[in-house]
Amino acid sequence: MSENVGAGGMPQNGPKEIGQQPDFRVVQPEYDEKEQKTIFKDVGAVWKNISQKTGKEFYTLKVGKLRLLMFENKKLEQ
């Protein structure tokens, strides 16, 4: 599923529809002293998207209200 992309090629809406599984979960390790073990708390998620304007893949990372776009680190071809 892809996002709506504006004139700048950047998504305008949030990642995918609510209720769909993210491609990755973002967790934060915390030590539970009561259980004496490390637990992982969900703090965010990452969704794979395709730009409707360029057709290129990118990811959207959401942690709380923070939303970041992630692009593969490729050198531009001249």
Number of domains in the chain: 1
11 lies in some domain: no
Using one digit for the tens of pLDDT, what is the confidence trace for 16-26? 555 689 999 99
**Which amino acid, 53?**
K
Asked whether residue 78 is domain-assigned, the answer is no
The answer to whether position 12 is within a domain reads no
Q: Tens of pLDDT along 7-61?
A: 334 344 444 555 689 999 999 999 999 999 999 999 999 999 999 999 999 999 9
Residue 6 has pLDDT above 50, yes or no: no
pLDDT at 3 over 90: no
Residue range of the domain that includes 63:
24-70
Is 18 inside any structural domain? Answer: no
Classify 16 in phi/psi space as left (phi over 0), alpha (psi -120 to 50) or beta.
left
Contact 15, 3 (CB under 8 A): yes
pTM confidence score: 0.62
Residues 59/67, Cβ–Cβ less than 8 Å: no
